[in-house]
Amino acid sequence: MGCMVSHLAAKFAFFPPSPPTYQVKKRDDGKLVAVSSSMPIPPHGEDNSLDRGNKIVAFYLRNPYARLTLLYSHGNAADLGQLYDLFVQLKVNLRVNLMGYDYSGYGASTGKPSESNTYADIEAVYECLETEYGVSQEDLILYGQSVGSGPTLHLAAKLPRLRGVVLHSAILSGLRVLCHVKFTFCFDIYKNVNKIWKVKCPVLVIHGTEDDVVHWLHGNGLWKKVHPRNGEHDHRNPPQKD
């Protein structure tokens, strides 16, 4: 029963675009360039090898006025080619450097998507930010959308000095998206509800009240689990309809 439900939850979790919306090619000078049929993407690719043998593709967008870096973990049905325009907007409007990456089995990243692989993926990308770009915890914000909230909270629980975490349409757990359960089972995936209390930095939770994929109660449940430090929770209700 446990294996069957876990398999079902994993099937629900991962929908990589097929075919991928971009390809990564190596130029004559050895630099990587992402090529998309629908949009031009400058050469921001970083080819990062994981211990388990997967190649993870990441885009790094630099803002010359930035002091902070945003590490973006995307949802379950997109790849970097579809998100590039969004990354540019975030980089410019928020004045941040931005690193986005594709999970194993997404885009031009090799391997197969799984919960454990997404954890290894974000750890490898963080190591790249730390060693190749000199990004410290204090200057790093983790941003997780939908399924991306899983690897985001996995890493955030390990880094006590982060600048902040943003959870966008986050999930309490994989099984809780499929059915209403009050307890966490051993075969569940992305047990965010059991991890968020470990996060020591400020957390911003964003969730649309009319989200028809992940109910807003997921975001509300995570918000309630955040431990307020040096103050109380700050809650903002959405604008009311006319």
Which amino acid belongs to residue 8? L
Mean pLDDT of 184-201: 86
Q: What is the pLDDT of residues 211-220, one digit of tens each?
A: 777 767 777 8
**Full DSSP string of 157-221:** TT-TT-SEEEEES--S-HHHHHS--SS--TT-S--GGGTGGG--S-EEEE--TT-SSS-HHHHHH
Give residue-wise pLDDT tens across range 32-76.
Answer: 778 786 655 654 555 554 555 789 999 999 999 999 999 999 999
Domains and CATH numbers, the chain: 2-225 (3.40.50.1820)
Q: ∠ CA 135-162-91 to the nearest 5 degrees?
A: 55
Of the pLDDT bands very low, low, confident and very high (cuts 50, 70, 90), residue 8 is: low
Contact 48, 118 (CB under 8 A): no
**Three-state DSSP class for residue 122:** helix
What is the tens place of the pLDDT at every residue in 71-121?
Answer: 999 999 999 999 999 999 999 999 999 999 999 999 999 999 999 999 999
Q: What is the CA radius of gyration of the chain?
A: 18
